[in-house]
Amino acid sequence: PVSPNAGNVIISEPSGIKRAAITVTLTPETPGAEIHYTLDGSDPTAADPPYSAPFSISNPARLRVRSFLPDKLPGALALADYSFIDPSLQSYLSDVPIIVMDNFGAGDYPNKGRSNDGRDVVQLPRQPNVISIFNPTANGQPFTSSPTLQSRSGCRVRGSSSSQFTRKPLSLEFWNEADEDRSLAPFGFDSEADWVLNAPNPSFDRALIHNPVSFGFAEMIGAHAPKNKVVVVFQNTNGGTITSSDLAGVYIFSEKIERNRMSVEFDKLSEDGTTGGWMLNIDRMEAIPEGLPVTTTQPNFHAAGPNGILQIPDDQQNSGGSQSVDDISEFYHSYLNFNSPGGYDILPAQRSVVQATTRAMDTAVWSGNFTSQLDSESWARNFIVHNFAKNQDAHVLSTFIYQETPASKIKMGPVWDFDRAYTWKGGPSDTPLWASDRDWYQGLFQNTDFKQTHQDLWQEARRTTATNAALQGLVNEASTGLRSDQVAASGLNFSTWQSRIADLRTWVVSRATYLDNQYESLPTLSPESGFFVSNLQINMTPTSGGTVYYTTDGSDPRASGGGNAPSALAYSSPLTITSRTTITARTRDGSRWSGPVSSYYYLENEIPQLVVSEIDYHPGDPTPSEEALGFTNSGDFEFLEFTNIGTTSVVLTLLNLRGGIDFDFSTSSITNLAPGQQVLLVKNLPAFEARHGTGLPIAGAFFGALNNAGDSLILEDPALDLVLQDFSYSDDAPWPHCADGDGYSLILKNPTLNPDHSTPSNWRCSSLPGGNPGTSDSRPPFAGDPLADQDNDGLGQLLEHFLGTSDTAPGDASDLIQISSTIASDSLIYPTLQVTCLTGADDVTPAAEWSSDLNTWSDLPGNIILVSETLNNDGTATLTWRSVLPATEDRQFFRLKVSN
């Protein structure tokens, strides 16, 4: 049993970096409790100063508070840490975000150090720290505005060789008052607790922006990479206020690679290893967890490699020596380490499954028959990023592979760590397949089809997203806004840095052009794509010799192994098409193939007419029965619904969804959508069916998660560069609030009219909790005489349609329109008009009007305002308007108006 204590204390001012003196109020949870506090971080006792009134703090302080009552234990410790920006920094100029950190004079952040291969390295505890983020402002002085984020945090040095640099990379956790993880969403990223602050070293990362350029390039070509932001950091480790001397320079703030981030989505591996997924990293051995002895075994393993003979035992410690065998990883400093589940937590059955699956893939790679076990496109995309950058550490350090389910193919990614790359590696025009001889890539590039996949993805990216202008744009975006003092604090003269930025801008284009020249050029199709009325003539031309082979059924003209596919045709004369056609063409010159060029041609009356008709972005919490099935996260029940509002069927497999979530409809289990039909995308199919039942029209499961605060959704036909829908929703007013965790979904009103999806008033909440996936809860549109009143109850037919009542039943609406009153925040009483209606009358718009004389009526906010719209869980909603004048004002009248 827990002994009664004096209760908690509420501190009015949260932890953070403050711009000026603050006033702190301490409030006991238990009436009559006496509060004692300290400002030096020590645990207060009854002998410390008692709190009597709000007090001011203007210098760094670590406030600790407890409540006390006679004959009871002291209350729980409450705490807040405050650091202060020196007034001299108010005029500091910055055009990029600033992160300010303070550890209250604790000195350097804990650094575990390194060894050549990670052996005998023991992790250290995180150091308490306080952090605030200041975004750029219109006047260029971010410290004149309040921080956009402030929190306690725990920090320590991360990395291996980089941990020895003058400026240290940091692992950062947002903390609550109990030093526990606290999920926050800096810079609009998804809410998480764990982040990385990487400090570019100009001796290697010559332009200070290798990582953001690489991560941006990875996203550009479809590889997974961390969300990141170029920031400027102030670090105060010697006490006092934060001054200009604490400027630590340019850092890269980014996500940490872990499960369920960066679109790497999988459930935890079950204890027996039969369900869920896992992730490995290829790197030095993982550090021994803090508190364990240096003699602790560091779990790792190898795969047999090219000769098929496993020569390195599990948990081998190579002590930084050379590795003379071909086991994977073949580099002396690199091991296969358990990331999720972690090596120090993994169970024997889990470890057995992970190792067996990885080693089976290893065997398949060296046999050349790996397509059923390894996701070739994922591995090829990651190779493209490292090859483009000429990354020194490619594939053998900071490398991740994962399997989402036991039935999934093993994927590579996300990418990480590009400090030793680009101009540091010399000129751009050499080594067209950089590091292709390392680890499994040595076997993959012996396979003709994998080499072609790599080439195809590169040429497709260059044709579409990774243009010269886009590559230079990555450099410009990452470097724009940095100032001379910020670069100098990073260890680099500003003019030298500017020259290096110019060099990098030239280098990325030269490298891309050099890689382009290694491959057979793409053929050209004219026109490239488009719409036509009755017929269209298509011309095909090889760019540099050879023969163009094409198909008209969407298949690849190149067969596996490098021959011609059975359906491939050699182009000889213009092709005339008279119906919707997909043409896929490649140039063949001897044994060399170009990448594919696919073009889609539509009859004008066949342009897809799709709307996003329902969004369940923040579903209601799981029920006990759903939790018993293992679905404990409300996000598992997310879904989207699309409706074909056109007169012809839509070929879904040509479409793509991107933005906050991703789905490639070429993988859809439903390929065509007839007029008037709906199709669904879900987050988690088993969870969705547990809540909504089976048999609904589900195309598949999307990647990522719908953001509860709002997200963008783009539905497109990428081949035609045709955007069908492009909009963002939000949980902020005037968007319907009832869809934000109250159990309701967002419903598009009047979908057949294809309303502007970005306008909040075109959306409402579903009639009932849970939404109505695959169906519609909209009522039939009004038909009749709006003013007719068949039952003579004073309500016209349009009003009865809105209310959901009958015009043949007098009195059935008598209790649906009520005059009442409410007490507002100013403690005054105001008259209200309350209307209860059946939801789903999307073709009409209600409004309340106010008058003081029954002659002049107004629906303006200066006279009457809508204060609430409450869903009643039975298919009805109650709308409440109130006057802006208190009830003490005489002669106030309301009336309900409905229009369509």
- Backbone φ and ψ of 56, nearest 5°: -100, 145
Average pLDDT along the chain? 94
State both tokens at 30: 């238990």
The tokens describing 382, both together, are 């990651």
Task: Look up residue 364 and give its amino acid.
Answer: A
Mean local confidence (pLDDT), 50-73: 94
**Tokens 């364990």 map to which residue?**
292
Give this prediction's pTM. 0.77
Residue 312 exposure: Cα atoms within 13 Å on the Cβ side: 26
CB atoms within 10 A of CB 593: 24
Rounded to an integer, what distance in angstroms lies between the CA atom of residue 542 and that of residue 68?
85
Integer Cα distance of 327 and 316 in angstroms: 12
Which has more confidence, 316 or 541? 541
Backbone angles phi, psi at 440, to 5 degrees: -70, -20
Least Cα distance to 509 among 482, 546, 476 occurs for 476
Q: What does the alpha-carbon distance between residue 311 and residue 325 come to, in Å, rounded to a whole number?
A: 7
Phi, psi of 877 (to 5 degrees): -135, 150
Question: In the numeric block, which tokens belong to residue 125?
Answer: 């505890």
Res. 130 pLDDT band, cuts 50 70 90:
very high
- Residue closest to 151 by CA, chosen among 127, 126, 183: 183
3-state secondary structure of 684: coil
| For residue 131, pLDDT beyond 80 | yes
Residue 734's Cβ-count burial label (10 Å; 0-12, 13-18, 19+) is exposed
Closest Cα partner for 780 from 836, 841, 845, 839? Answer: 841
337 - beta bridge partners? 281
How many Cβ atoms sit within 10 Å of the Cβ of residue 899? Answer: 10
Which residue would you say has higher pLDDT here, 163 or 71?
A: 163
Angle (CA) 701-703-704 rounded to 5° is: 130
How far lies 860's CA from each of 736, 804, 864, in Å?
A: 20, 26, 6
Q: How many CB atoms lie within 10 A of CB 293?
A: 7
Hey, how many other C-beta atoms are within 10 angstroms of the C-beta on 39?
18
Distance of CA 206 to the CA centre of its chain: 29
Instruction: Provide the strand spans (E) within 332-455.
Output: 335-340, 399-403, 411-412
pLDDT bin (cut points 50, 70, 90) of residue 719 is low
Residues making up the chain, counted from first to last: 900
397: Cα separation from own chain's centroid: 25
What is the rounded CA–CA span in Å between residue 712 and residue 722? 17
Quote the CA–CA distance of 187 and 196 in Å, as a whole number. 14
Cβ–Cβ under 8 Å, residues 610 and 724: yes
Q: What pLDDT shows up at residue 811?
A: 84
Tokens of 245: 């001397």
Count of C-beta atoms within a 10 Å radius of residue 175: 23
Confidence band for 544, pLDDT divided at 50, 70 and 90: confident
Which residues are within 8 A (CB) of 827 and not within 5 positions of it... i.e. 6 or more apart?
none
Residue carrying the six token digits 């059946």: 838
The DSSP bridge pattern shows strands 16-18 and 26-28 to be unpaired
Strand partners, 235: 101
Going through 737-875 in order, the beta strands assigned E by DSSP cover 746-748, 763-765, 817-823, 829-838, 845-851, 864-871
Do residues 666 and 653 touch, judged by C-beta distance below 8 A? yes
| Tokens 């390295």, located at residue | 121
Alpha carbons within 13 angstroms on the beta-carbon side of residue 203 total 6
281-285, 392-396, 491-495, 709-713 — which is least confidently predicted? 709-713
Quick one: average pLDDT of 855-872?
92
Model confidence pLDDT, tens digit, residues 420-453: 999 999 999 999 999 999 999 999 999 999 999 9
* Residue 749 tokens, joined: 């009103």
Q: What is the mean pLDDT of residues 129-146?
A: 95
The per-residue pLDDT for 450 is: 98
Quickly count helices (H) and strands (E) in the chain: 11, 47
Sheet holding 16-18, edge to edge: 16-18, 78-84, 61-68, 34-38
CA dist 330 and 310 (Å) reads 12
Nearest of 848, 845, 869, 878 to residue 860 by alpha carbon: 848
Of the candidate ranges 100-104, 385-389, 414-418, 734-738, the one whose mean pLDDT is the lowest: 734-738
pLDDT at 321: 57
Tokens describing residue 7: 């209760």
- SS3 breakdown of the chain: % helix, strand, coil, rounded to 5? 20, 30, 50
User: Is the separation of the CB atoms in 395 and 444 below 8 Å?
Assistant: no
Three-class SS of 282-299 = EECCCCECCCCCCCCCCC
pLDDT band at 531 (very low <50, low <70, confident <90, very high): confident
pLDDT digits (tens, 9 = 90+) for 558-606: 999 999 999 999 999 999 999 888 899 999 999 999 999 988 888 877 7
Taking the C-alpha atoms of residue 118 and residue 311, their distance in angstroms, rounded to an integer, is 20
Question: Per-residue pLDDT averaged across 391-412, rounded?
Answer: 97
pLDDT band (50, 70, 90) for residue 1: very low
| pLDDT band at 54; cut points 50, 70, 90 | very high
User: Computed over its alpha carbons, how large is the radius of gyration of the chain?
Assistant: 32
Strand partners, 401: 280, 412
Among the listed residues 451, 504, 456, 453, the one whose alpha carbon sits nearest the alpha carbon of residue 477: 504
Determine the average pLDDT of the residues in 340-369.
97
Count of CB atoms situated within 10 Å of the CB of 811? 9
The residue behind tokens 């309900």 is: 896
Q: Is the pLDDT at 28 greater than 70, yes or no?
A: yes
pLDDT at 607: 83
Task: State residue 635's pLDDT score.
Answer: 93
Among residues of the chain, what percentage have pLDDT more than 70? 99
Instruction: Extract the tokens encoding 351.
Output: 């470890």
User: Tens digit of pLDDT for each residue in 229-254?
Assistant: 999 999 999 999 999 999 999 999 99
